[in-house]
Amino acid sequence: MKTVSFQGTQLTSGQKLRLQQQQHVKAFMNPVLADQIAVTLAVIELRKEQGVKPEQIWFFDYESHGTVSMAEFMGY
């Protein structure tokens, strides 16, 4: 965790407002994200117990090997 010290610095009113908003959002989002992560991990463990294979999210649409020639690159 980062520790930030503002000793010796003065924040403008806009910076103070932005800092206050960031702290408010952070305080709200931490419990929400923790709940979402807990639910997701529970679902993953349940699927593992049932023997369901994980969903394939990433897949190759096209895979080539070697260097593309200029003619192929230009569409000839």
- Domain definitions of the chain by residue range: 13-74
pLDDT digits (tens, 9 = 90+) for 25-73: 888 888 888 889 899 999 988 988 888 777 777 777 777 677 777 887 7
CB 47, CB 54: distance < 8 Å: yes
Residue 21, judged by CB atoms within 10 A of its CB (0-12, 13-18, 19+), counts as exposed
* H-assigned helices in the chain: 13-50, 70-74
Residue that has been written with the tokens 């569409």 in this structure: 75
Residue that has been written with the tokens 């080539």 in this structure: 64
CB 46, CB 39: distance < 8 Å: no
Q: Which of 1-10, 16-25, 61-70 has the highest mean pLDDT?
A: 16-25
Per-residue pLDDT, 1 = 63
Per-residue pLDDT, 6 = 66
Q: What is the pTM of this model?
A: 0.41
